[in-house]
Amino acid sequence: MKRALLTLALALAAAPAFCAEDAVLKAMTDEMKRTISRLKMDSLDKPYFVSYYVLDSSETALSAVFGALKEDSFNAARHAAAELRVGTPALDNSWYVGQDFNGFEPANLLLNEEDGYDAIRFSLWSMTDDVYKKALEKHSQKKAYQKKKNITELYGDLAPAGQESYFGDRKVVPALDTAAWRAHVKDLSAIFRKYPKVQWSQVRFTYTPRVVRFVNSEGTSYRYWWDKVNLEIRASIQDKTGLKLSDEKALAWRSLQEVPSYEALAAETEVFAREMSDLAEPSPAEVYLGPVLFEGQAAAEFLNQLFVGNISFARQPWADQEDWMKYYINAGELTKKLGMRVLPAFMDVSDDPSRESFGGTGLIGGYPIDNEGVIPVPLQLVKEGKLVNFYMGRAPVKEFRASNGHGRGFVTEFATPRPGNVFFTSKPEKRVPQAELKKKLLAAAADSGLDYAVIVRRVDGEASRKSDALLAGPVLAYRVSVKDGSEKVIGGSDWAGVTFRALRDIMLVSDKDQVYNYFQPGPFYYNRGFVPASIVAPDALLVQEMELKPTEAKPDRQPYLPHPYFAK
């Protein structure tokens, strides 16, 4: 009964169209107006900009291990974040780390889950009072830092933006058949009972309806909903040398209606389990320098980690100590190559957050308005291989002084320029069937005097990438015989010397496209959030030359006793 009431309460809170007035939005608006008009400390600067962002969410989480339910939870929360600026748009307190590097984040807290107007205003007032005092301190420190470093080349801290108003609501929050999903999760996890070489596995399903609200002192306000539906299949093995390997297949959808049938999910789980099992008996990794064919998830992550992530995060904050910047992991390295060729001349790239699907598959990266209140428009990023644009929020940089509607982030991080729906297109003459790509791979390897070529079908996700690497290591790579095309899994390996040249070395792509829905991590180690993004790209890429080497990870001892289920 308690669970049912909580679900109902959240459903009502998540659908403002039920109410004659949105009490949360009214409280945000009224407190923001009071703050901008009346907040001032003695003779110090008053705020010139204030914004509030409130995220309502509920999450049903179900996980199972080896056929048994492990987690069955429901949580509802209302998070709020406040940003307040003092000074002027030319130089304010933003984008400065100061003495508290791990505190580089907007003020945020948990609000009451009920729509209590007075309680919400009280919480926002309390948070704003604290962030105002810190803003004054940061502004003073930032001006001193600028003078100390003699920084004269400034581009401003807040670009102008038009006043926007966007309200998209729904009347009903789709109900989750929790009992059915409990059974699905248990059954999916039980698939691993057929694979004795898999030491650990887990299947986890989450359904998270969300509503976001935003107001700022420039008159912009919005409210819209989006659902987060995820299925994560995880497993780990230990190969015959003792090396431990883990991987995750993460599936994401825009809504419950887009989730495939149980049979389709079971087939995906079966393939993943079999591939993980194959890793237990690999051929030894060797130093390899030659052509590489990236397929499926590996092709998408190749483009994501080398290209998409590096045209994001164009601006970095100032930090008192330079070595602190190692925690600001993503630095938008390709943004420095505007006007230069960064991809093969046969490839174009664009981003369009207004698209909801491609080829019948939903794109989770779409959004109607960004975290800073700017409505995005279709954006050309690469034309005939040359970088002509990159993602921008409202923080100006040398090349661009205005937002293009890609200021995105989670409630615990400042909005930074990030992708939405990214489309990679290629000229028809460079697109061939996947079977032909494999032939081209083997021919290129033979021309280089190699006995085998390499196909990579899975690489580690971006969040697992080493801080000094451009591309995470391969998880599932195959040695492909030049003589007969047979494949053998390669043991633990890693890339050597990957540079942006790898993007320009794409020779051919497949004639079929894939939709890759994923969550892009933020740039800052201490509070990185994840935003939904989508890549539409060829499902295979042939790269002229890359180098693999045996991993430096150390093997461990095998378990003294076998897995109890398989020891029967």
| Position 433 in a domain | yes
Do residues 189 and 334 share a domain? Answer: no
Top-confidence residue, 22 or 20:
22
| Position 153 in a domain | yes
Contact 370, 404 (CB under 8 A): no
Domain boundary among the residues 186, 213, 228 is at 228
Give the confidence band of 528 by pLDDT, cuts at 50, 70, 90: confident
Top-confidence residue, 252 or 113:
252
Do residues 199 and 309 share a domain? Answer: no
Across 29-33, 287-291, 325-329, 549-553, least confident range: 325-329
Do residues 130 and 218 share a domain? Answer: yes
Specify the pLDDT at position 148: 93
Averaged pLDDT score across all residues of the chain: 93
Tokens of 451: 């006995």
| CB neighbourhood size of 126 (10 A) | 12
For 467-470, the CB contacts below 8 A with 24+ separation are: 467/326, 467/329, 469/495, 469/498, 470/305, 470/306, 470/310, 470/498, 470/499, 470/500
What are 163-177's pLDDT values in tens digits?
A: 999 998 887 788 999
The per-type count for the chain, helices as H runs and strands as E runs, is 8, 27
* Residue 156: pLDDT over 50: yes
Task: Give the domain extent around 102.
Answer: 2-228
Domain boundary among the residues 160, 194, 228 is at 228
Domain count, the chain: 2
CB environment 252-279: b (16+ within 10 A), e (fewer):
bbbeeebbeeeeebbeebeebbebbbbb
Contact 214, 222 (CB under 8 A): yes
Do residues 191 and 72 share a domain? Answer: yes
The mean pLDDT of 459-481, rounded to a whole number, is 91
Length of the chain: 568
What are 87-146's pLDDT values in tens digits?
A: 999 999 999 987 777 778 899 999 987 878 999 999 999 999 999 999 999 999 999 999
Specify the pLDDT at position 444: 97
Specify the pLDDT at position 563: 87
Do residues 208 and 331 share a domain? Answer: no
Calpha distance 233→238 (Å, rounded): 17
3-state secondary structure of 250: strand
Q: Where do the DSSP E strands lie in 151-306?
A: 165-167, 198-216, 221-238, 244-253, 288-295
| Position 272 in a domain | no
| Position 259 in a domain | no
**For 285, phi and psi rounded to 5 degrees?**
-75, 145
Do residues 536 and 395 share a domain? Answer: yes
Q: Where are the alpha helices (DSSP H) in 150-202?
A: 178-190
In 3D, which of 300, 182, 298 has the Cα closest to residue 247? 298
| Position 313 in a domain | yes
Give the confidence band of 21 by pLDDT, cuts at 50, 70, 90: confident
Calpha distance 354→331 (Å, rounded): 26
Do residues 405 and 496 share a domain? Answer: yes
Give the CATH number for residue 132: 3.30.2290
Do residues 208 and 312 share a domain? Answer: no
For residues 551, 555, 559 and 563, what is the CA-based torsion angle, rounded to 10 degrees? 0
SS3 content of the chain, % helix, strand, coil (to 5): 25, 35, 40
Do residues 350 and 498 share a domain? Answer: yes
Between strands 221-238 and 165-167, the pairing is parallel
Specify the pLDDT at position 81: 96
- The dihedral through the CA atoms of 284, 289, 293, 299 has a sign that is positive
Calpha distance 342→303 (Å, rounded): 12
CB environment 215-240: b (16+ within 10 A), e (fewer):
bbbbebbbbbbbbbbbbebbbbbbbe
| Position 192 in a domain | yes
Specify the pLDDT at position 7: 42
| Position 253 in a domain | no
Do residues 325 and 431 share a domain? Answer: yes
Specify the pLDDT at position 113: 77
| Position 260 in a domain | no
| CB neighbourhood size of 316 (10 A) | 16
Calpha distance 250→268 (Å, rounded): 11
Do residues 387 and 460 share a domain? Answer: yes
Across 12-16, 136-140, 291-295, 404-408, least confident range: 12-16
Do residues 202 and 302 share a domain? Answer: no
Specify the pLDDT at position 329: 75
Give the confidence band of 3 by pLDDT, cuts at 50, 70, 90: very low
In 3D, which of 55, 68, 34 has the Cα closest to residue 529? 55
Give the confidence band of 15 by pLDDT, cuts at 50, 70, 90: very low
